[in-house]
Structure 1
């Protein structure tokens, strides 16, 4: 009997809810006496006519890089600037604002958070400080996750990993929502928002700058192996397949460098290589540590993914998550 069939016959289908006590976030006061150090300037890189990215200072948050380990982006239009992701702290948000001012004197008119992981929204504080009325957009599920305790979790995570260098950051949630499918224009530049369901998280949105044939990807694809615990392999494979057929020319990940559709195809092959092999090896009765060396010997993993930051340390965790998803699919 295949392991999959044995699993089905041995356990009844059931569902349970894991309870968790609600943690009240620690919001900084307006008269806070202490603040972490400023983040050194990292010049913005112009990717296309309207689109910019600010390169990360490292692949993981550390005291040395101040938690600046993702690539905030912004789009310059005739009427103002649209910011995509604001970094891990108020200090990073302030640094982003300084880089924008080097490029344009236009004001920031809209901020978009691609999902609820802390390196994509904790910098919101800086933008509210600069303009109390600024609109900060995300998917509703991003807000829901943050209000359920992820806000405090990510604040503490960044504090711990930077040796408290984000001190002074006030937890500042998005105040507007996108559900996906929205199309709008700012200063002659056209945008479209996409939500593909559960990909890296259930709250991911990507920002298509239609005018430039560019898509800011958030963390739905990256040349980095870091965190899949909130995501879906099958959701990622489906979403990246759709994106590869959109006819866009440039993709800007929040971890890694901008590229053409090769970035999307590599991300899809990475997810497919892990998930499809886990399905087969799971049915054969192998454990996660037995699967790992077999999967790591696959050509794509050896020739491409093994070069990505975090691969050696994290690939085992990806396999564990894939096993859970395979098991969940039995009862879908």
Structure 2
């Protein structure tokens, strides 16, 4: 199905391959130059733009239908070892070109995805959909634009208006810098290429022999999430609205609106397989995530009604069978459950007024 990249101990340059050691040495030299004064700092910034992190190891695509493939990320969070390969990249062949849904977290990941794509089909990439404004879903745009959008043929990159606004604002550069930091500069050389075409709920795109129906159903994971339904194949890419064996980040989201979004997606699509941006596509992705979220949010609602403080609410959440039964299999559970309980508690408090 796929194979994970071989882990590298990037915290120890001596243990890295020779090419990686040279890259780390150059990056360290640039950082040192930046500390010596304004002129050297400017030079270091110019040189940094020419530095590019190492390639991402190939991951073979998983075929979901005769026309839909997913390059499935083996990990849930970015690290120096996985070079930021944390989010799935989806391909849809239309007979007239390939549509990419979420392009990955770096130019290197985008380039790896293109290598895999060329083994599947001779079709060029003709469009990209970015599901939302978190960087692991759009920082790979650069590779596809460089490969397929040169000259007069501007490659359309579709996203909700809220997503475009955020990426062109603070989120774009913030995520690019964060990804470099989290990967120990493995994603260096990536530039932010924002989506260029705004879309909204209910729009349909007929590309080749495939219909792409878009769903924006409120403030779920972010204010601007779009889910992309590939009608003929019975699949819907839900981005981070739901994840498989990982808690969907709710820092920018809403539990209540996420539940509403699940209900509307189920009612208004004929989806057989849900494609999460993190984890394994399946028919049960929404249900798995709903039960985990319900265990968190509904327990917090009851705690607020009972006048309990946050710590007591967390203790109740951890005992809820919908949460406890998923703890061992959920990536990042121990490090993140406290934050997600806090967010649920705050939302429950606000709803009680």
Shift of 1:104: 0.3
2:264 to 233, 242, 249: 242
Aligned-pair distance for 1:148?
Answer: 2.8
The partner residue of 1:303 within 320, 325, 350 is 325
- 2:136 is aligned to 119
- Alignment partner of 1:51 out of 40, 50, 68: 68
1:170-225 CA-partner distances (Å, limit 9, x unpaired)? 11100011111111211111110110111111110010000011001100000202
* Structure 1 portions without partners, runs of 5+: 1-27
What are the within-5 Å matches in structure 2 for residues 160-309 of structure 1? 160-223=181-244, 224-225=246-247, 227-245=249-267, 246-260=269-283, 262-309=284-331
Q: Is the 8 A contact 1:197 1:235 kept in 2?
A: yes
Unpaired runs of at least 5, structure 2: 1-44
Q: TM-score, normalised by structure 1?
A: 0.88
Match of 1:138 among 153, 159, 163: 159
- Given candidates 85, 110, 133, the residue that maps to 1:93 is 110
SS in structure 2 at match of 1:316: helix
CA contact (8 A) 2:102 2:131 kept: yes
Q: Distance in 2 between matches of 1:136 and 1:253?
A: 20
Contact 1:270 1:300 (8 Å CA) reproduced? yes
Please name the residue that 2:84 is paired with.
67
Give the drift of 1:242: 1.8
Assess if the C-alpha contact under 8 Å between 2:304 and 2:349 holds in 1: no
Q: Which moved more, 1:182-191 or 1:154-163?
A: 182-191
Q: Secondary structure at the match of 2:338?
A: helix
RMSD, matched Cα: 1.7
Q: Is the CA contact (8 Å cut-off) linking 1:88 and 1:123 kept in structure 2?
A: yes
The equivalent position to 1:324 in structure 2, one of 346, 349, 353, is 346
Taking the aligned partners of 1:313 and 1:304, their CA distance within structure 2 comes to 14
1: CA distance, partners of 2:316 / 2:182: 33
- Stretch moving more, 297-306 or 115-124: 297-306
SS in 1 for 2:84: coil
Q: Does the 8 Å CA contact 2:53/2:185 hold for their aligned counterparts?
A: yes
Equivalent in the alignment of 1:82: 99
Deviations 1:158-179 (A, max 9, x none): 0110001111111110001111
In the TM superposition, residue 306 of structure 1 has moved relative to its aligned partner by 4.0
Deviates more, 1:215-224 or 1:129-138: 129-138
**Which residue number in structure 2 is paired with residue 13 of structure 1?**
none
CA drift of 1:29 comes to 7.4
User: 1:330: Cα distance to partner?
Assistant: 3.9
Instruction: Quote the residue 1:109 is aligned against.
Output: 126
Question: What secondary structure sits across from 2:214 in the alignment?
Answer: strand
Deviating 4+ runs (over 3 angstroms): 28-32
User: Aligned partners of 1:315 and 1:244: how far apart in 2?
Assistant: 27
Could you say what secondary structure the match of 1:231 adopts?
A: coil
1:253 & 1:282 partners in 2: Cα distance?
31
Cα shift at 1:30: 11
Paired residues, what number?
Answer: 303
1:11 aligned partner: none
Report the more deviating stretch, 143-152 or 212-221: 143-152
- The structure whose RCO (Cα within 8 Å, separation 6+) is larger is 1
User: CA deviation digits over 1:52-91, x for unaligned, max 9?
Assistant: 1001131110001000011111101110000000111111
Deviations 1:235-267 (Å, cap 9, x if unpaired)? 11111122233331111111010101x211121
Q: TM-score, normalised by structure 2?
A: 0.82
How far off is 1:31 after superposition?
Answer: 10
